[in-house]
Amino acid sequence: MTVLLNIDVPDVEAATTFYTAAFGLTVGRRFGADFVELLGWPGPVYLLTKQAGTFGAGGDRRRYNRHWTPLHLDVVVDDVDAAVARAVRAGAILEAPARDAPYGRIAMLADPFGHGFCLLAFSAEGYDALLGG
């Protein structure tokens, strides 16, 4: 089984620039002008040009101002503070600065297209720290 990550964006070139700079992903294949494959995570990331105002799933119109979704990315990194600095330099918006948690260190951000994501570095115990013995 494989998981593919598809991210709708209004400008695939701007998104390619952001995701390669923020996360060190590389361009795999280009499927025309509006569809780019990025490599470097456990599964491929596909950036798809979908203009604001067009209809997505469930009849919702796409919008690229900051929005909330119950599904978001947690990008696991070795050093949250360094990853935050890199993502912000690439154009991310820092929404909640890095903080320590029982399971590690976490920061909350958004990409330039309104999609939220977290940067997370696990402690040695990881989520097992939440089990409470």
Domain ranges of the chain: 1-53, 65-133
Mean pLDDT of 14-38: 97
The pLDDT assigned to 58 comes to 84
Q: Is the pLDDT of residue 49 over 90?
A: yes
pLDDT exceeds 80 at position 3: yes
Q: Given this chain, do its domains 1-53 and 65-133 carry the same CATH topology? A: yes
Q: What are the angstrom distances between the C-alpha of 132 and each of 102, 125, 127, 128, 129?
A: 10, 11, 10, 8, 6
Q: What is the overall mean pLDDT for the chain?
A: 95
pLDDT of residue 79: 97
Give the HSE-up count for residue 25: Cα atoms under 13 Å, Cβ half-sphere: 25
CA dihedral (33, 38, 44, 47) positive or negative: negative
Residue 132 has pLDDT above 80, yes or no: no
Percent of the chain predicted with pLDDT > 90: 87
pLDDT in the model for residue 133: 62
More confident residue, 72 or 77: 77
Q: What is the pLDDT of residue 59?
A: 86
Quick check: 45 pLDDT over 80? yes
Instruction: Give counts: helices (H), strands (E), the chain.
Output: 2, 8
Residue 125: both structure tokens together: 């115990």
Q: For residues 53-74, give the mean pLDDT.
A: 89
Packing angle of the helix pair 12-23, 80-90 (nearest 10 deg): 150
Q: Any idea which fold 65-133 has?
A: 2,3-Dihydroxybiphenyl 1,2-Dioxygenase; domain 1 (3.10.180)
Q: Distance (Å, rounded) from C-alpha 59 to C-alpha 125?
A: 42
Q: What is the pTM of this model?
A: 0.91
CATH code for the domain defined by 1-53: 3.10.180.10
Q: What is the mean pLDDT of residues 99-107?
A: 97
